[in-house]
Amino acid sequence: MTVKQSTDVELLTADNHKLSCNHLRTGHNEVVILAHGFYNNKDAYLFQKMAEELSRNFDVISFDFRGHGKSSGLFSFTSLESEDLRAVVAYAKERSYRSIGVIGFSLGAAVAIIEGSRNPDIHSFISVSSAYDFWKIDYRFWKKEMLEDLKLNLGAKGKGKGLRPGNPFLPKVRPLDAVAKIAPRPILFIHGRQDWLIHPMHSAKLYRKAKQPKKLVLVDHGGHAEKIYDSNPDEFIKMCSDWFAQTLINEVKV
């Protein structure tokens, strides 16, 4: 029987921000880091549930980006958040995991691509609903899926969400300019065809620019980011678990 240990951890980034993290240990040699998106945090209902389900096959570290949840600072809309992910990856590496994977959602996926392009300690990536460029985000408010997201965020599953925004105009690296540097490490792009906020063409464009090994999955009735998981949790967890089983545990070049 697997013994599950959940530990709250506080890390300090290189630019002196405190990061609130949770380390879910289930005795695996591989660890998956969950990187949430804008207006979210590790303690939100869906992210807690994802961490629990992924922990059947991997240890899991979830954390709050700066300006979110219990972490300090202000959110810089991908300009400085690489420092946050770098600190979490360093923490995981210090625990002697054989391999480290990252699942990023929305702007968290953008950060994963940006940081991953220059951090060789990340071995496999899943990008869920990333924009290829922050300034090209779509905001198609007339789409029905926007109302579904609103219900999600205002209902019980949205409890505790929020952020402390900083300057959105700081210089940014475009994920499109970074994604080719992920190779030869594998990256899976997942995007909902009904995404109202970041059009699926963003992931398609990132996929085209990325080098092998890579894969693109467009989910027919999927919305934005964690809404894909909320609509079909079993399918989403299987997709992510299968990917990491191939690329972290078996180290197959997909």
Around Cβ 142, how many Cβ atoms within 10 Å?
Answer: 8
pLDDT of residue 142: 43
The pLDDT of residue 253 is 62
Of 79, 197, 220, 203, residue with least CA distance to 143: 197
User: In which band, very low, low, confident or very high, does the pLDDT at 250 lie, cut at 50, 70 and 90?
Assistant: confident
d(CA 194, CA 233): 17
Question: Position of tokens 């579904």?
Answer: 148
Model confidence pLDDT, tens digit, residues 76-91: 999 999 999 999 999 9
HSE of 97 in the Cβ direction (CA atoms, 13 Å)?
Answer: 27
8 Å CB contact between 110 and 182 = no
Distance between CA atoms of 124 and 149, rounded to whole angstroms? 28
Lowest mean pLDDT: which of 20-34, 78-92, 111-125, 153-167? Answer: 153-167
pLDDT for the residue 148: 61
Where in the chain are the domains?
5-249
Could you report the per-residue pLDDT of 187-213, keeping only the tens digit for each? 999 999 999 899 999 999 999 999 999
E strands, 56-162, where? 59-63, 99-105, 124-128
The predicted structure's pLDDT at residue 154: 57
Report whether 41 contacts 64 (CB < 8 A): yes
For residue 184, cis peptide bond before it (omega within 30 degrees of 0)? yes
CB atoms within 10 A of CB 252: 11
Distances 185 to 100, 113, 172 between C-alpha atoms, Å: 11, 11, 23
Q: Which of 23-32, 91-100, 148-157 has the lowest mean pLDDT?
A: 148-157
| Arithmetic mean of pLDDT, 101-123 | 99
The residue ranking higher by pLDDT, 133 or 145, is 133
Superfamily of domain 5-249: Alpha/Beta hydrolase fold, catalytic domain (3.40.50.1820)
Strand partners, 30: 99
CA distance 115 to 234: 29
